[in-house]
Structure 1
């Protein structure tokens, strides 16, 4: 009952997306929240060259929006003072417990009416080549085929004990895809998922009629982003979308990916059980090993028996960094991926060498 009353009040504070609930704390008679207008954070985090640290406010907000929104009673007043606002009081008819389960439930509610910052997450981008040139029915068929490849890859990995809790948002002619879970294992699991989707797509294209299964341009990167719940009508949904450094880089990377090509960003991140940050090449080989260790992994009736990288692929002897200027004139770097996947006696080649 108290949680339902809390959600109704948070919804009122949210005002159809006009405001954001940043954090919360227990109060003897209810809860305290810090609520700001949706435009507030953009103004507050704008660089101020008059200050010794022009980006100090942005750093502060990123830390505030990372992880749990649950704060101590004194801390929430300090946060409000730092932002130049006053805490809001929510009176509840019934007392909420302060056990871990209740705190987690309140936190989940607050985040639906807020915005979150994630410092490091793997994100993939699948883009259907020449999408606008196809008839509407073919476009629908291609998007459906790509969705099926993602669902198929998820099911196959889950059967092998790897659950990729993936989320996606459409770009119109493809999808951004990420793992809802955070950490080194979820990041590399998304790369494993990414490769399996591409293999599934290659198998489907071999069987398909022209125009029904897409030729993909794809990219993979790691980085930071903000995450927002989608507002539909008068309610925020449990689904979210992401925007930030990593999605911006992926959008720039995909500009230079040819049909059938696969690019990776120049990231540095931790692999599972690794204290040192590693390269995209090491991530790729980890994902390959993970796939090949799954003895029961099949695409239709055929078993995945080998994955070999071409000599020009990232991490191989003839690999080179791709450098280009994006549409804004900014210099970008990318790494090209090429591989052959053996399914019993059939071999599928993925990736396109950049000249």
Structure 2
């Protein structure tokens, strides 16, 4: 049992109390090597179930509540998790109340701290990966400039979504020569917003690429977008700083494999299907249609002095009689695993008469990598 946790001299301030609780958990987690699986208020403070992360990932049986949902559990859930893991809960005694009292912390306050030390699981989320073609061939100064430009275009695209009131809180982690990008919030609307984010990012980047001088041209990019499951974890800190979220799982592996087979200036979209909303399945094709409806609201968008007439994200394919059909592409990664995807394009026509294109046309794929 832990010694009572003394609050900061400014005992009524929630920030100070959260910081005190965070510092205690940082020590208990052994620099983040253990994860908080469950917590509940107790008569004298809190009870928590904590387990080394290595043991969590070695569980032979899976209990949904261990990775999914908030870490704040009902008494019944708490007992179930502790029993399932065979772990004795740790009691943390506090000299301030947990709950509705104004001089303590609310349940949401505690959850915001506990989540920093947890591992979550998302059954489906869309993610896209940006890769700079030939990144290692550039000088360190050019590399820094290129990554800075990617961040600028991503931030500009996110701000544009916010202006329209779309649900987007961008998560981003570097791969060294690019970025994984996702929406911190999950849901159908949030996934659609990510398709829109990638569309606007492509538009802004291509527009800048046109304007750059020959002395420091912007490089070609490869983009891959897909959806799937993944784990979520955070970087613990003894200071109560902004929470950094990281993701890893099937979806990040899939987009990385797609990028590995993509050509310069190509956009690949994985043949993903979101079945987390019951029988209402959301396919890549359905997401694209929904994203284009949202993009109708961006007509007249000012892009570096020129205004958008229309912008469209679409999956390519051959023309059958009077219409185009989306064609699936099979690629085989370096490990021999097959991945099904679509080639995609972003076409934008400006009011000035200019057109900005991102991605390869279907007829350009004749020599694309197929295995």
TM > 0.5 fold call: yes
Superimposed CA distance per residue, residues 29-84 of structure 1 (whole angstroms, 9 cap, x where no aligned partner)? 11110011121112224xxxxxxxxxxx23x1x43221211112243122111111
**Other-structure match for 2:164:** 160
Residue aligned with 2:161, SS: helix
Q: Establish whether residue 15 from structure 1 lines up as the match of residue 30 from structure 2.
A: yes
CA distance in 1, matches of 2:76, 2:314: 58
Counterpart selection for 2:355 from 347, 352, 355: 347
* Aligned counterparts of 1:271 and 1:307: Cα–Cα separation in 2: 29
Give the RMSD, CA atoms, in angstroms.
2.6
1:150 is aligned, of 147, 154, 176, to: 154
- When residues 161 and 250 of structure 1 are mapped into structure 2, their CA distance, relative to the original with a 3 A threshold, is same
Match of 2:81 in 1: 79
Match in the other structure for 2:335: 328
Which moves more between the two structures, 232-241 or 217-226?
232-241
1:235 CA displacement: 7.7
Alignment of 1:52-131 (within 5 A): 57-58=61-62, 60=63, 62-98=64-100, 102-131=106-135
**Structure 1 runs not aligned, ≥5 long:** 46-56
Taking the aligned partners of 1:311 and 1:187, their CA distance within structure 2 comes to: 17
Does structure 2 conserve the Cα–Cα contact (< 8 Å) formed by 1:20 and 1:37? yes
| Partner Cα separation in structure 2 for residue 310 and residue 242 of structure 1 | 27
Q: Which residue of 2 is the match for residue 300 of structure 1?
A: 304
* Counterparts of 1:346 and 1:33, CA distance in 2: 60
| Distance in 2 of aligned mates of 1:195 and 1:309 | 7
SS of equivalent to 1:127: strand
For residue 126 of structure 1, report the CA deviation from its aligned partner.
0.7
Is 1:248 aligned to residue 253 of structure 2? yes
Correspondence list, 1:131-210, <5 A = 131-210=135-214
What is the DSSP-based 3-state SS (H/G/I as helix, E as strand, rest coil) of the residue aligned with 2:38?
A: strand
Give the TM-score taking structure 1 as reference length: 0.88
8 A contact 2:225–2:270 mirrored in 1: yes
CA shift in 2, pair 1:124/1:311, >3 Å:
closer
Secondary structure in 2 matching 1:337? strand
Distance between the aligned counterparts of 1:63 and 1:347, measured in 2? 50
1:135-192 deviation digits (Å, cap 9, x = unpaired)? 1111111111111111111122222222521010000000001111111111100110
The counterpart of 1:317, out of the listed 306, 321, 324, is 324
TM-score when normalising by structure 2: 0.85
Identify which of 239, 245, 258 aligns with 2:244: 239
Tell me the matched-pair count. Answer: 341
Instruction: Select 1:37's aligned residue among 32, 47, 52.
Output: 52
Change (3 A) 1:309 1:194: closer
1:232 to 1:91, Cα distance in 2 relative to 1, 3 A: closer
